[in-house]
Amino acid sequence: MTTTPTTSTGGSASASAHALYGPVAADLPRVSEALGSIATNVEFAFLQKMLENALAGTGKMMRPAIALLGGRLGTYDLDRLVPLAASVELLHTATLVHDDVIDEAQARRGEPTPNALFGNAASVMLGDYMFAHAADFIAQTDNTRVVRTFARTLMMMANGELKQDMTVFEYSEDVQRYLDRITGKTASLFGTAAEGGAMVAGAPAEQVEAMRVYGLHLGIAFQIVDDILDFTGDPAVMGKPVGSDLAGGTLTLPTILYMQRKPDDNPVKRAFEGVRRKANIDRAIREIVESDLLEESMHTALRYGEEARNALQVLPAGEVRDTLSNILDYVFARKS
């Protein structure tokens, strides 16, 4: 079955992600430098080593790029926009550090996690240090509205993570609860990146709101695609086994739809009740992959993608709007 859609512009998963960032691509190294300075300015060698390990995992820099693109809608002041973009990426990275502690994960993207290398207690403090530094970055924007948005986003992300942790191996999850969870855990930060960039730049209110809606719906689509890739992605590229979310007790959209379709003879329910867990999880993964549920999940992601694309119509035509639309296409075409 094919889950990759035909999109309106030429995004490609094989293309360099940085090539998608158009008018802000040349400025992303400044964000990387700001992130790198966190480790270089620390005197405590052990903390420096942990920071270098955690920050080495910053990948395609999509959230910082979206923040800078939002900044292109007004006064493009990199002295304020770079700290905003860095704070968004640092907040994202800090949550991954804490997630890995909670999940007792030993690897992410094929590389050892900080908790695998340095232990849980040190990794919790590492995440806390990164949260604090993200707050310091956001304060450098000198924009109270952005600081408040940042604080609300952090609360939403913590709420989303708690919802996920409290529903591990719980098979009563439904689609709306799933969407609420990923809105807080993932999409809220995309929304803050997009909205914050426009806010810092002093863009018109309707454009700030359009960026918020764009980022939020892009984030929801991004997470659904991520959850599909958990079933379809190459384990060597993804850095984790096929169906690892389900094996870890987390229900994502494809599995929730599978359980709704098979309310009686359901191996997920039996596995979560402790009955032949591995065999039942393996059966569920196989049946999900062989069904049309991944395609159905992709259609849901595409609907959110279209909501994001529609929000862009408020923005002036030009390179910024085109680049934001191309990022949407990239999200749907990516393989990892």
Q: Is residue 295's pLDDT more than 90?
A: yes
Residue 2 lies in a domain: no
* pLDDT at residue 109 in the model: 72
pTM: 0.90
Q: How confident is the model at residue 10 (pLDDT cuts 50, 70, 90)?
A: very low
169 vs 229 pLDDT, higher one: 229
Residue 8 lies in a domain: no
Summarize pLDDT for 127-167 with one digit per residue, the tens: 899 999 999 999 999 999 999 999 999 999 888 888 877 77
* pLDDT at residue 186 in the model: 93
Give the domain CATH number at 179.
1.10.600.10
Residue 313 lies in a domain: yes
* pLDDT at residue 335 in the model: 79
* pLDDT at residue 12 in the model: 42
205 vs 109 pLDDT, higher one: 205
Residue 11 lies in a domain: no
* pLDDT at residue 97 in the model: 87
Summarize pLDDT for 121-134 with one digit per residue, the tens: 999 999 899 999 99
Domain that holds residue 141: 17-333
Q: Is residue 277's pLDDT more than 50?
A: yes
Residue 171 lies in a domain: yes
| Number of domains into which the chain is organized | 1
Residue 4 lies in a domain: no
Q: How confident is the model at residue 105 (pLDDT cuts 50, 70, 90)?
A: confident
* pLDDT at residue 164 in the model: 78
Residue 35 CB-half CA count within 13 A: 28
